[in-house]
Chains A and B, each alone.
Chain A
Amino acid sequence: MIDAEDFPGTRGVDPNWATSDAAQARLRRRRAADRRLWALGIGAVAIAMGLLLILLGSIVTASWTAWTQTSIRLDVTIPADKVNPEDPFRARYGSFVDQSLADLFPLIDTPAGERELRSMVSNGSQFFVRDAVVADPALIGRTFSIWVPAADPIDQLHKGVIDRDLPANRRNVNDAQIDIYDQLVDEGRLQSTFNWTLFTAADSRFPELAGLQGALWGSFYLLLVCFLISFPTGIAAAIYLEEFAPKNRFTDIIEVNINNLAAVPSIVFGLLGLAVFLQVFGLPRSAPLVGGMVLSLMTLPTIIIATRAALKQVPPSIREAALGIGASRLQTVTHHVLPLAMPGILTGTIIGLAQALGEAAPLLLIGMNAFITAAPDSMLSPSTALPTQIFIWFDSPERGFVARTSAAILVLLGFLVVMNATAVFLRQRFQIKW
């Protein structure tokens, strides 16, 4: 038995308080509270994960049909008298395609029937034939088999998106088209292959011909411009603020403003770009250069903040060590502080660029949602970007664009995941333990 008198500091406290009933009850309550908090946390994480899964699941299922494309095999005859071998590019290839369809179905001879027949294949089919002939002029005067994309309604019918059992007025494939379709299937003239067009083609009014190439190049140029502007500027600004700037009212104001800049809604930057870059400087609309400049305004504060954080993480002892043997402040920064902060800076930059990659609103304002059917060949040519392309497709009435919108979202998400993973990798790999 311990006497309370032995412990002058605990006079009056029951020395056996820890084993009393009240203490036990308190302990139980405390443990119960711990368990409740634990359950709450797990629940919150579960909800978050669930929502994420639902989101991903819905996008993946919605995009499902966009990954394949139905094609129809045609036996096209190129009459030698209608194509000039010297200039195979110019010829009425559409009529050759129509003719090959007519040859397949000799029984259809009404103008209406011929129209149904023509509507089976994509409007772009003639270009496939043309490209084949241009690539191999020996085909002139001969008949050959070629796979051309099916028209969107047929594609959707083949994938089962359009239900043939619906009443005719509630589906956009009529009975005649279904008859032709069935016949083509019977003859083995239909196949479903991976939809490479999604990546090799630029935008088109026809879903079966539309792809993301223009948007990918556009986004690439955007990020390039954005990186070239915001990376050096951001690092320079951060180094100045963190290492050289005197701590006074003026720098405080700058700091607050930079932090606020990061919170400005992105559409405001778009308005700024529209007003300054397009209207004052007269730069071209829809150009990745302008888009990149606008996005760099958005990325800049992120990079500055991340760089300053990375610089702060470099222990002051390293700066002291360098200064202590007579390195100048610039040498201290360039030889020691900056290299040590670089992984953190790159991480922040990548995250900033990933944000920029996903940004649509400011690009809409400077016209990067234009309908452009060719990939940009420079930073000044009009272009779309991944998020704006998604926006355009989402707005398009054709059935085929529904799935393609989701597919484009998945492509965008894929890039974001890769970029963020790179950031995580950099952080893990090059972090120095002090």
Chain B
Amino acid sequence: MVATQAASASPAPHSPPATTKVSARKVNLWYGEKQALFDVELDVYENEVTAFIGPSGCGKSTFLRCLNRMNDTIAICRIQGDIRLDGQDIYDKGIDVVQLRARVGMVFQKPNPFPKSIYDNVAYGPRIHGLAANKAELDEIVETSLRGAALWNEVADRLDQPGLGLSGGQQQRLCIARAIAVSPEVILMDEPCSALDPIATAHVEELIEELRDRYTIIIVTHNMQQAARVSQRTAFFHLGKLIELSPTDRIFTSPEHQMTQDYITGRFG
């Protein structure tokens, strides 16, 4: 068996000179007594899609939620280490978590639009952050966001209808529109397609490809083909440790670690 050391994930050779957007160093996390993350260290590059894969309970979602401090809402959760966004420690006392979450948006596993109209779903973020001075500006933000989420053509004539009336794939794109309405820098996606059918999944994947130009995207997925399709780099987590972070084409043809190989070829356990 190969010795597993989280730190051994080598920063793989990367062709264009990439800017580091998010960097994590020695991140440890506990739920009560149970340690869920062990010395996770990785860098996420700007305008890239980074995929997190790994078996259930491997800590990939937990780590994702550290990046916009969603774990703060869990009382028994304790985190240690250093996570930086543009070089700034996001767990610093001076950081306002509300502002952080506006900069690091999130899309969840199950499409979760608010039980409000399509318009209000997208407008909610800009409203609470005061991004629009008047109705016209707000209208524009809503339209831009819906266009950005490739949903505008489908919903332009029914913005006042409830968001829950859309199909699953449309709902998820609405959630993406809602996330990009506050102009985040990073978008975290926690298994965004796991509740969708293949066609809807294809729409979302196509969208992720487009969004990459403007945002840095981190996506957790159970679907390895999806990770292979949408991401530039892939990180494999196992039992709370980062096993390997490599360019995606590399990890799916010849991964460096035995465990990664076993996982992606279906030889686990």
Q: Do chains A and B touch in the complex (CB under 8 A)?
A: yes
Which residue of A321, A323, A331, A336 contacts B175 across the interface (Cβ within 8 Å)?
Answer: A321
B204 proximity list for chain A (CB < 8 A): none
Query: How far in angstroms is the closest Cβ of chain A from B15?
Result: 33
Q: State in angstroms the CA–CA spacing of A340 and B115 once bound together.
A: 8
Q: Is the CB of B108 within 8 A of A324?
A: yes
- Which of B4-12, B85-93, B99-107, B256-264 participates in binding chain A? B99-107
The residue in chain A whose Cβ has the minimal distance to the Cβ of B109 is A317
B114 proximity list for chain A (CB < 8 A): 318, 321-322, 336
Residue tally, chain B, CB below 8 Å to A: 28
Q: Is the CB of A247 within 8 A of B101?
A: no
The residue in chain A whose Cβ has the minimal distance to the Cβ of B100 is A326
| Interface: A246 (CB within 8 A) | yes
| Interface: A182 (CB within 8 A) | no
| Interface: B238 (CB within 8 A) | no
Q: Is the CB of B101 within 8 A of A326?
A: yes
Q: State in angstroms the CA–CA spacing of A340 and B125 once bound together.
A: 18
Query: How far in angstroms is the closest Cβ of chain B from A10?
Result: 26
Which residue of A246, A326, A432 contacts B75 across the interface (Cβ within 8 Å)?
Answer: A246
Q: State in angstroms the CA–CA spacing of A315 and B113 once bound together.
A: 11
Known contacts A247-B75, A320-B70; A325 and B112 CB within 8 A of each other = no
Contacting B at CB under 8 A, from A151-200, are: none
Q: How many A-B residue pairs have CB under 8 A?
A: 65
Contacting A at CB under 8 A, from B97-140, are: 98-102, 105-108, 110, 112-115, 124-125, 128-129
Q: State in angstroms the CA–CA spacing of A319 and B72 once bound together.
A: 13
Which residue of B73, B129, B182 contacts A323 across the interface (Cβ within 8 Å)?
Answer: B73
Contacting B at CB under 8 A, from A334-368, are: 335-336, 340
Q: State in angstroms the CA–CA spacing of A162 and B88 once bound together.
A: 93
Q: Is the CB of B112 within 8 A of A315?
A: yes
| Interface: B47 (CB within 8 A) | no
Interface string of B128-154 (1 = CB under 8 A from A): 110000000000000000000000000
A315 proximity list for chain B (CB < 8 A): 112
Query: How far in angstroms is the closest Cβ of chain B from A249?
Result: 13
Query: How far in angstroms is the closest Cβ of chain B from A345?
Result: 16
Q: Is the CB of B112 within 8 A of A321?
A: yes
Known contacts A246-B75, A320-B70, A321-B175; A327 and B112 CB within 8 A of each other = no
The residue in chain A whose Cβ has the minimal distance to the Cβ of B122 is A325
Q: State in angstroms the CA–CA spacing of A247 and B70 once bound together.
A: 18
Q: Is the CB of B108 within 8 A of A326?
A: no
Contacting B at CB under 8 A, from A83-97, are: none
| Interface: B60 (CB within 8 A) | no
| Interface: B179 (CB within 8 A) | yes
Q: List 24 A-B contacts (CB under 8 A).
A: A246-B75, A247-B75, A247-B76, A317-B108, A317-B112, A318-B112, A320-B106, A320-B112, A321-B108, A321-B114, A321-B175, A324-B107, A324-B179, A325-B101, A325-B106, A325-B179, A325-B181, A326-B98, A326-B99, A326-B100, A329-B73, A331-B128, A335-B128, A340-B115
Q: Which residues of B contact A (CB under 8 A)?
A: 68, 70, 73, 75-76, 98-102, 105-108, 110, 112-115, 124-125, 128-129, 175, 178-179, 181-182
For the complex of A and B, the 10 pairs showing the least CB-CB separation, nearest first, are A326-B102, A317-B112, A324-B106, A326-B101, A325-B125, A321-B112, A326-B98, A246-B75, A328-B98, A432-B115
